[in-house]
Amino acid sequence: METREGGTLLVNGRAQQARWRWIGSVSTPSQLWLPLEVLQNQLGVSSRSLSDGSLDLEWYGRPLKVSPGQQQALDDEVAIDALPLLLAVGVRLGADGERLTLDLPVTTLVGVRSSTQVGSRRVVLDLSGPALVETAAGELLLGIRGDGERLRELQGLGLAARGDSRGIALRTAGAAPSRVFTLGEPSRVVIDLPGGAPAAAPAAPASIDPRLQALLGRGVRWDRLGRDGMRINAVRVEPANGPLQLVPLVRPGGMTGLGTLTQLAQQNQALVAINGGYFNRVRRLPLGALKRDGRWLSGPILNRGVAAWNGRELPRFGRLSLEEWVAGSDGRRLPLVVVNSGFVQRGISRYTADWGPAYQALSGNETALLLRNDTVVQQFSAVELERGVPLRQGDTLLVGRGGAVLPWGRGERLSLSSRPSSPLGEAQQVIGGGPLLLEGGRNVLNGSAEGFAASFMTQGAPRTVLASDGREVWLITLEGEGSPGPTLAQTAQVLQQMGLRDALNLDGGSSTGLVMGGSLQVKGRGVVGSVHNGVGLVP
């Protein structure tokens, strides 16, 4: 058996950048490793993460359970052996040099059904066979054909349908679908829409929101540059006096879940948006600092780089950690390792209602104490935490992992203390990423100091950066011209040459994106990536 790898994927003829690994003979693989992001957003595979780190995947009724040991890293993406699903559905495979080809014949739309439930509406598309379901910017691209009658039915349900070279493109009115998934025997695509009644078919979207269009060149600069083999998009504004204000972008309803950058911008009314910090793509949870309006939605980890600011001031940049402790009246004082984080390690972690309406165990054999008004009111076993524990405003849940003991019982009064490693942690708004690239005009790139692997530091990839030149804040994306993208060292160097003083690397790869006035202008690896949070400019 041989192993072949590449960086180009053709899905029904459409090329995109994505890593893949083929293990087997030249003509027939025994394993085919693909990024989870590709399976979900380009093919339509449904994914559900379990508390033990396993994945439950399903595609047109074909299930596949993937344990943590069956998940690998392809560059910065979580990948699985997708061969069983692909073969079960009938995908044709081919590999030639750097290119992997996936083909699934276009099928026919044979029926459209709709039902209304409390707070939602479901549209079911009956198909003659399995079809690709691609999530693009504000659209679903389906590998299906339908006659005029079927398209008119979709239009009547508030789904604007148009022909596409690969099938049918659907755009929803108002809010994006809350869920899209597939069913088998017979093949169906199910689209769940928020709201209980069909909306009028939407008009074709404008390329850029007129509000932003009026500001370009008048307080907002958008530069598109070609430099050192890179495509660079840079949006800049003076926060103190400009028309737009910098804010972290978060999804409503808690820290669990992902969405597109376009959706994130809409939910936060941002005219300009870039993707934010890191996250666990499998568990859909944040991995780094995220503070909005003075509340730690997700705490800093590993002393990684952050940008921090108050109101309309220019962001300050540096590295940040939190020192937190819990102490009992018995004199025992124990450290807390993280607050509201998907970063799992041994010790005691703290969770609040900002995490979401409930906490569910992130590792095996956890125990917990629930504090209300600084008093322990309930103790939880591993089994109870597996099921989930509700969190109310004002609650604090202390979670012990890896054998860490919580030595207090009901009725015990505990005190919590928190101290940031620098004044950056006292700011109202904080966004984390890393590594820190520039500080005060100096190149301060040091991946090992922030817990990044050597392989991460040397790989080329699309990049997203938040930066400052001392007067304006810059929202930047960098992509390769005929290459995977710049390394972090190349990124720091080119930003320094552009005259920037401070710069923070954010999540990159397929997460990299730039939304301008509702229009997705940059797609990291040519796909619409799912992201957890972002940074945006709002009126």
Residue 135's pLDDT is 77
Residue 350 has pLDDT above 90, yes or no: yes
Average pLDDT over residues 447-467: 93
Distance CA 421, CA 221 (A): 34
The pLDDT-based confidence of 48 (bands split at 50, 70, 90) is: confident
pLDDT digits (tens, 9 = 90+) for 291-344: 999 999 999 999 999 999 999 999 999 999 999 999 999 999 999 999 999 999
CB 66 within 8 A of CB 47: no
CATH 2.60.40 residue spans of the chain: 107-194
Q: What letter represents residue 63's amino acid? A: P
Residue 239's pLDDT is 94
Would you give the DSSP letter of residue 289?
-
For 192-196, 209-213, 256-260, 487-491, which range has the lowest pLDDT when averaged over its residues?
A: 192-196
Average pLDDT over residues 51-68: 87
How many residues would you count in the chain?
539
CB 429 within 8 A of CB 308: yes
Residue 230 has pLDDT above 50, yes or no: yes
The pLDDT-based confidence of 199 (bands split at 50, 70, 90) is: very low
CATH 2.60.120 residue spans of the chain: 322-420
Residue 203's pLDDT is 37
| Structure-token match 């025997």, residue found | 185
Average pLDDT over residues 264-285: 93
Residue 227 has pLDDT above 90, yes or no: no
Q: What percent of the chain has pLDDT over 70?
A: 95
The pLDDT-based confidence of 436 (bands split at 50, 70, 90) is: very high
Say whether domain 107-194 belongs to CATH 1.10.3430: no
Distance CA 364, CA 52 (A): 6
Q: For residues 38, 13, 463 and 22, what is the CA-based torsion angle, rounded to 10 degrees? A: 60
Residue 175 has pLDDT above 70, yes or no: no
Average pLDDT over residues 196-211: 56
For 116-120, 164-168, 195-199, 237-241, which range has the lowest pLDDT when averaged over its residues?
A: 195-199
Q: What pTM, to 2 d.p., does this model score?
A: 0.77
Would you give the DSSP letter of residue 355?
G
Residue 311's pLDDT is 95
Distance CA 505, CA 493 (A): 13
Distance CA 343, CA 207 (A): 38
Say whether domain 322-420 belongs to CATH 3.30.160: no
DSSP assignment of 40-102 equals IIII--EEEE-TTS-EEEEETTEEEEE-GGGEEEETTEEEEE-HHHHHHHT-EEEEETTEEEE
CA-CA distances (angstroms) from residue 507 to 110, 456, 458?
A: 41, 12, 15
DSSP assignment of 200-213 equals PPPPPPPSS-HHHH
Residue 167 has pLDDT above 90, yes or no: no
Residue 36 has pLDDT above 70, yes or no: yes
Report the Cα 535 to chain-centroid distance in Å: 12
Distance CA 481, CA 483 (A): 5
Would you give the DSSP letter of residue 424?
G
Average pLDDT over residues 99-120: 84
pLDDT digits (tens, 9 = 90+) for 485-503: 999 999 999 999 999 999 9
Smallest Cα–Cα separation from 333: which of 345, 352, 348, 351? 348
pLDDT digits (tens, 9 = 90+) for 123-144: 899 999 999 998 765 678 889 9
Residue 157's pLDDT is 80
Residue 46 has pLDDT above 80, yes or no: yes
Distance CA 507, CA 333 (A): 35
Q: Go through 372-400 and write b for each residue having 16 or more CB atoms within 10 A of its CB, e for each that does not.
A: eeeebeeebeeeebbeebebeeebbbbbb
Average pLDDT over residues 77-93: 92
Distance CA 81, CA 291 (A): 36
Q: What letter represents residue 178's amino acid? A: S
Q: What does pLDDT average to over the chain?
A: 90
Strands (E) located in 332-469: 333-339, 347-352, 358-359, 367-372, 375-380, 389-390, 396-401, 414-420, 429-432, 436-439, 442-443, 463-468
Residue 88 has pLDDT above 60, yes or no: yes
